[in-house]
Amino acid sequence: MTTDLPPELSMFAPMLDAQPEPVRAMIHYCLALAMVEAGKARLVETVPGDNGPVLIFESSAGEQFSLARPTMTAEQEATVKEMLREILDEEDWL
Protein backbone atom coordinates (compact mmCIF):
# COMPACT_ATOMS: atom_id res chain seq x y z
CA MET A 1 0.00 0.00 0.00
CA THR A 2 1.17 3.50 -0.76
CA THR A 3 2.38 5.07 2.49
CA ASP A 4 4.23 8.16 1.32
CA LEU A 5 1.11 10.22 0.69
CA PRO A 6 0.22 13.11 2.95
CA PRO A 7 -2.85 12.32 5.11
CA GLU A 8 -5.03 14.59 2.96
CA LEU A 9 -4.48 12.24 0.02
CA SER A 10 -5.01 8.87 1.69
CA MET A 11 -8.26 8.33 -0.24
CA PHE A 12 -6.15 7.94 -3.39
CA ALA A 13 -4.00 5.08 -2.06
CA PRO A 14 -6.06 2.23 -3.61
CA MET A 15 -6.09 3.95 -7.02
CA LEU A 16 -2.35 4.57 -6.86
CA ASP A 17 -1.49 1.07 -5.72
CA ALA A 18 -3.14 -0.35 -8.85
CA GLN A 19 -0.88 1.64 -11.20
CA PRO A 20 2.62 0.87 -12.51
CA GLU A 21 5.41 2.95 -10.93
CA PRO A 22 5.78 5.56 -13.73
CA VAL A 23 2.04 6.28 -13.57
CA ARG A 24 2.10 6.46 -9.75
CA ALA A 25 4.90 9.03 -9.96
CA MET A 26 2.87 11.15 -12.39
CA ILE A 27 -0.23 10.96 -10.20
CA HIS A 28 1.72 11.80 -7.02
CA TYR A 29 3.27 14.81 -8.71
CA CYS A 30 0.00 16.09 -10.19
CA LEU A 31 -1.83 15.54 -6.89
CA ALA A 32 0.75 17.71 -5.16
CA LEU A 33 0.24 20.41 -7.79
CA ALA A 34 -3.53 20.13 -7.30
CA MET A 35 -3.05 20.55 -3.54
CA VAL A 36 -1.11 23.75 -4.19
CA GLU A 37 -3.81 25.02 -6.57
CA ALA A 38 -6.47 24.25 -3.94
CA GLY A 39 -4.55 25.99 -1.15
CA LYS A 40 -4.05 22.71 0.72
CA ALA A 41 -0.27 22.80 0.31
CA ARG A 42 2.48 25.14 -0.73
CA LEU A 43 5.64 24.65 -2.69
CA VAL A 44 8.50 25.25 -0.26
CA GLU A 45 11.53 24.73 -2.46
CA THR A 46 12.83 23.16 -5.64
CA VAL A 47 16.22 21.48 -5.45
CA PRO A 48 18.30 19.61 -8.02
CA GLY A 49 18.03 15.84 -7.89
CA ASP A 50 19.87 12.99 -9.58
CA ASN A 51 17.25 12.78 -12.35
CA GLY A 52 15.94 16.34 -12.42
CA PRO A 53 14.22 18.76 -10.07
CA VAL A 54 12.85 17.66 -6.71
CA LEU A 55 10.01 19.74 -5.32
CA ILE A 56 9.48 20.08 -1.57
CA PHE A 57 5.92 20.75 -0.46
CA GLU A 58 4.28 21.46 2.87
CA SER A 59 0.68 20.38 3.45
CA SER A 60 -1.83 22.53 5.30
CA ALA A 61 -1.28 20.13 8.23
CA GLY A 62 2.39 21.19 8.29
CA GLU A 63 3.82 17.93 6.94
CA GLN A 64 6.60 18.24 4.40
CA PHE A 65 7.00 15.84 1.51
CA SER A 66 9.18 15.84 -1.56
CA LEU A 67 8.60 14.56 -5.06
CA ALA A 68 10.87 14.29 -8.04
CA ARG A 69 9.33 15.73 -11.16
CA PRO A 70 8.61 12.63 -13.24
CA THR A 71 9.46 12.35 -16.89
CA MET A 72 6.28 13.22 -18.75
CA THR A 73 5.16 15.38 -21.61
CA ALA A 74 3.11 18.52 -21.13
CA GLU A 75 0.18 16.63 -22.68
CA GLN A 76 0.50 13.78 -20.17
CA GLU A 77 0.68 16.25 -17.29
CA ALA A 78 -2.44 18.06 -18.54
CA THR A 79 -4.32 14.76 -18.93
CA VAL A 80 -3.46 13.58 -15.42
CA LYS A 81 -4.32 16.99 -13.92
CA GLU A 82 -7.70 17.00 -15.66
CA MET A 83 -8.48 13.46 -14.44
CA LEU A 84 -7.56 14.44 -10.89
CA ARG A 85 -9.61 17.66 -11.04
CA GLU A 86 -12.67 15.62 -12.01
CA ILE A 87 -12.12 13.19 -9.13
CA LEU A 88 -11.42 15.98 -6.64
CA ASP A 89 -14.45 17.97 -7.79
CA GLU A 90 -16.66 14.87 -7.36
CA GLU A 91 -15.38 14.50 -3.80
CA ASP A 92 -15.83 18.26 -3.10
CA TRP A 93 -12.17 18.32 -2.20
CA LEU A 94 -11.34 21.49 -4.13
- pLDDT truncated to tens, each residue of the chain (94 aa)? 344 555 656 666 787 788 898 888 998 899 889 889 888 899 999 999 998 899 999 988 899 999 999 999 999 999 998 888 887 776 665 5
| pLDDT confidence of residue 58 | 94
Domain ranges of the chain: 18-90
List the alpha helices (DSSP H) in 1-94: 13-17, 21-37, 74-90
* Residue 58 φ then ψ, to 5°: -130, 125
- Tell me the pTM: 0.76
Angle between helix 21-37 and 74-90 (nearest 10): 60
Please return the burial class of 52, using the count of CB atoms within 10 Å of its CB with bins 0-12, 13-18 and 19+: exposed
How many angstroms separate the CA atoms of 64 and 14, rounded? 22
pLDDT of residue 1: 38
Residue 3: predicted pLDDT: 44
